[in-house]
Chain A
Amino acid sequence: MRRFIENLLRSAINETVDKAITRAIRDQYGENLFEMLPSGAKTGPINLMEIAMRAHHGVPVPRPLGSPLNFSPWEKILFSPVHLFRFPVPEQVGIDTSVTIGPAAKKPLTVSIPILIAGMSFGGALSKRAKIALARAAALAGTATNTGEAGLLREEREAAGLLIGQYNRGGWLNTPEKYRRLDAIEIQLGQGAQGSAPQRTSAKRIGEDFRKVFGLREGEDAVIHSRLPGVDTKEAFIGLVRRLKDETGVPVGLKIAATHHLEKELQIALEAEVDFVTIDGAEGGTHGGAPILQDDVGLPTLYGIARAAEFLAKKGGTGKVSLLAAGGLVTPGRMLKAIALGADAVYIGTAAIMAMIGDQIVETLPFEPPTSLVVYDGKMTDQLDVEKSAKNLFRFLNACVMEMEAVAVTLGKTSLADIAKSDLCTLDPFIAKAGNSPWNGCSRAAG
């Protein structure tokens, strides 16, 4: 009986497949289901779905976590191990991983590892539980976390050993009683995934805790303006930086999206005597941003860092003004390459979220996306295990730094901060040229 059913099924499948293939061959494209394949390949599955979403909603699609495009060709850069001309580091020697941000500030900020948790706001992006988990993991690892564009969340401040706060375009952290409780202040004028475009969180998405932290009235939208309120001239920006430095003594920095105008922006930052600059490349993540801002605006992280580091070196800022890199740094290899290109430390956002969720992904699949555990209005935020999440991220950070230390050993460098462009080679002469520095381009070295 079983054999009979099996044969019947096989015969039915065979006939159906035969008919489908024959129809696909004989029918004209206009009436052929196969037409979906070339049209799908032309637009790509993401664009295809976003076309349909735009057509349904009539407004920009708030795509989470930034552009799916990998603009920076990190895979074309490799580290160069040493054997004899310089010796690798003996294994019993520890690799120094600590970094001081804003060494010229009255109260510099020293972190144990060169990886910081990126600015992801409570409410605008993440739930309170997710923010507490990020802060706890950062504290365990001896590094800093960042408020993102938000007010000061008491629970985050308490959980974080070191907290960098964003003096933001919404104005929610911009009062002395809030920014005086920070370990560093990052003036946020833009981000890789949004440029300096305004953003708005509708009042219908805003709960009571969100309103309280942001100081919003009931029914009021949370608005991030394109300009920082009160800063409409270069002089006003310089005045703001100096005032914050004098008032707090902590490192005061500037965060911008990497752009082709980078050097002009940095010139003003140097005139203002910032203690650090954060360059967020076009691959930077976000809670939800218009695809055009993510895919078609900005400068990729790799080029942004290389140009910023070179500019700082030219202006005598290296070692005085710290350079923080962000945007698409999802592997320890990319993080360390960013450091080799001149960054003092890197921010991670997407990778931190993924690491934090880790094995809790099974709680959401197959009916909800994993991010529903962490986003402010996600359906499953109450199911995020804070302790487990903090431990997951802590272990991830440790693993990343261990991988970086392994590379430092093979480069013969006893400190991650000593890894430089001279430790890199590139497989692509264009990248060597774009770096405008001796990257030991393989093509040149081979010649």
Chain B
Amino acid sequence: MEDPKHTLAYIRSELLRIETMAGTLSAIEKEHFHQLNRFDQRELADLAVEEQNAARQLNAIRTICLSLSQKIGEMLQEEAGSGTSERGNHEAVH
């Protein structure tokens, strides 16, 4: 890999984008649940339950994305920290 730091930063920004999308979709699915519940039909009621469950799973995706981007953030910080200290050591030697 040419530049792992940039790749990590790219993955992190994409994860944050997925997180936002999951949040938006979750809100839409929840609204669908309320709309489908207005009909007194078994099939639609089942669809409503599935929509609500989808909203929850999208919310779980949000949580996972947040936690992953946090981990990548920590890795990037460590990388930046070790880079600084390596530079520091280098300067001390010379």
Q: Do B59 and A98 touch across chains, with their CB atoms under 8 A apart?
A: yes
Q: Please, how many angstroms separate the alpha-carbon atoms of A365 and B50 in the complex?
A: 31
What residues of A have a CB within 8 angstroms of the CB of B64 in the complex? 110
What is the predominant secondary structure among interface residues of chain B facing chain A? helix
Known: A94-B27, A94-B30. A111 touches B53 (CB 8 A): no
Known: A113-B56, A140-B53, A395-B49. A100 touches B27 (CB 8 A): no
Q: Is A376 engaged at the interface, CB distance under 8 Å to the other chain?
A: no
Q: Please, how many angstroms separate the alpha-carbon atoms of A401 and B67 in the complex?
A: 23
Q: Please, how many angstroms separate the alpha-carbon atoms of A394 and B57 in the complex?
A: 13
Q: Do A100 and B59 touch across chains, with their CB atoms under 8 A apart?
A: no
What residues of A have a CB within 8 angstroms of the CB of B63 in the complex? 96, 98, 100, 110
Q: Do A394 and B59 touch across chains, with their CB atoms under 8 A apart?
A: no
Q: Is B76 engaged at the interface, CB distance under 8 Å to the other chain?
A: no
Q: Is A141 engaged at the interface, CB distance under 8 Å to the other chain?
A: yes
What residues of B have a CB within 8 angstroms of the CB of A394 in the complex? 49, 53
Quick one: which of B30, B49, B60 contacts A111, CB cutoff 8 A?
A: B60
Q: What is the CB-to-nearest-CB distance from A359 to chain B, in angstroms, rounded to a whole number?
A: 12
Q: Is B26 engaged at the interface, CB distance under 8 Å to the other chain?
A: yes
Interface residue tally for chain B (C-beta within 8 Å): 16
The digit string for B56-94, where 1 denotes a CB below 8 A from any CB of A, is 110110011001000000000000000000000000000
Q: Is B15 engaged at the interface, CB distance under 8 Å to the other chain?
A: no
Q: Please, how many angstroms separate the alpha-carbon atoms of A220 and B3 in the complex?
A: 58
Q: Please, how many angstroms separate the alpha-carbon atoms of A196 and B46 in the complex?
A: 42
What residues of A have a CB within 8 angstroms of the CB of B67 in the complex? 100, 103, 108, 110
Known: A108-B67, A110-B63, A391-B46. A98 touches B52 (CB 8 A): no
Q: What is the CB-to-nearest-CB distance from B2 to chain A, in angstroms, rounded to a whole number?
A: 26
Quick one: which of A98, A103, A108, A391 contacts B56, CB cutoff 8 A?
A: A98
Q: Do A142 and B27 touch across chains, with their CB atoms under 8 A apart?
A: no
What residues of A have a CB within 8 angstroms of the CB of B59 in the complex? 94, 96-98, 112
Residue of A nearest to B49 (CB): A398
Q: Do B52 and A402 touch across chains, with their CB atoms under 8 A apart?
A: yes
Q: Please, how many angstroms separate the alpha-carbon atoms of A171 and B54 in the complex?
A: 37
What residues of B have a CB within 8 angstroms of the CB of A140 in the complex? 50, 53
Q: Please, how many angstroms separate the alpha-carbon atoms of A94 and B30 in the complex?
A: 8
Q: What is the CB-to-nearest-CB distance from B6 to chain A, in angstroms, rounded to a whole number?
A: 24
Q: Please, how many angstroms separate the alpha-carbon atoms of A155 and B60 in the complex?
A: 25
The digit string for B5-31, where 1 denotes a CB below 8 A from any CB of A, is 000000000000000000000110010
Q: Do B53 and A398 touch across chains, with their CB atoms under 8 A apart?
A: yes
Known: A394-B53, A395-B49. A94 touches B26 (CB 8 A): yes
Residue of B nearest to A111 (CB): B60
What residues of B have a CB within 8 angstroms of the CB of A108 in the complex? 67
Quick one: which of A96, A103, A110, A142 contacts B53, CB cutoff 8 A?
A: A142
Q: Please, how many angstroms separate the alpha-carbon atoms of A182 and B55 in the complex?
A: 26
Question: Beyond the given A108-B67, A140-B50, A398-B49, could you list 11 further A-B residue pairs with CB under 8 A, ordered by the A residue number?
Answer: A94-B26, A94-B27, A96-B63, A97-B56, A98-B56, A98-B59, A110-B63, A111-B60, A112-B56, A141-B53, A142-B56
Can you give 25 contacting A-B residue pairs, CB < 8 Å?
A: A94-B26, A94-B27, A94-B59, A96-B59, A97-B59, A97-B60, A98-B59, A100-B67, A108-B67, A110-B60, A110-B63, A110-B64, A110-B67, A111-B60, A112-B53, A112-B56, A112-B60, A142-B53, A142-B57, A142-B60, A391-B46, A394-B53, A395-B46, A398-B52, A401-B56
Q: Which residues of B does A touch, CB under 8 Å?
A: 26-27, 30, 46, 49-50, 52-53, 55-57, 59-60, 63-64, 67
